[in-house]
Amino acid sequence: MTDPETARAEKLSRELDSAFRNRADLYRLFLDELTAELGAEQAEAVMIRTIEKRGREVAAAAFASFGPNDAPAIGEAFLAVSPDGGRMYPTHVERGPDRIAFKVKRCPLKDAWVEAGVGEEKLATLCRIAGAFDRGLFEATGVRFDNVTWTPGHGSGCCHIALTNRDA
């Protein structure tokens, strides 16, 4: 028998996953609509600008106390607030004295797009668009940011993010 707190936590975990999948569906539908109105290149550019801007807004609140040479600390702070205790975005982490890197093993956004039957080219586009949030989030801190989003042949995982101290 499951205790009420465990049942509640499991329910909240499912609801959180569902909310992220809903976000993925919105990205997919916005891309379709904007592509019909503006063309593929402009649609992607508009979405990237908007999502990157949101990343910068989040960084202003979440990373205000960090500077351009705090890459490892920024990375650890990011991991500490990973949804559902890191279960939603499981990562392989590589740590160094002036850098931290994440290889995301699973992404609920990518999972939702695959389940919706999105083809590989559109999947790569949606991953680039979603990756704009991370770019806005981390570049706002002043650290050096590198992100390789999923592309065909990339494997089953998702994006690879590296943060390095500005002066390293």
What pLDDT does residue 85 have? 87
What pLDDT does residue 22 have? 97
What pLDDT does residue 77 have? 96
Query: What is the pTM for the complete model shown?
Result: 0.93
What pLDDT does residue 1 have? 61
pLDDT per position as a tens digit, 116-137: 999 999 999 999 999 999 999 9
pLDDT of 31 higher than 70: yes
Local confidence band at 90 (pLDDT 50, 70, 90 cut-offs): very high
Q: Are 90 and 106 in contact (CB under 8 A)?
A: yes
Q: Are 49 and 136 in contact (CB under 8 A)?
A: no
Domains and CATH numbers, the chain: 4-164 (3.30.1380)
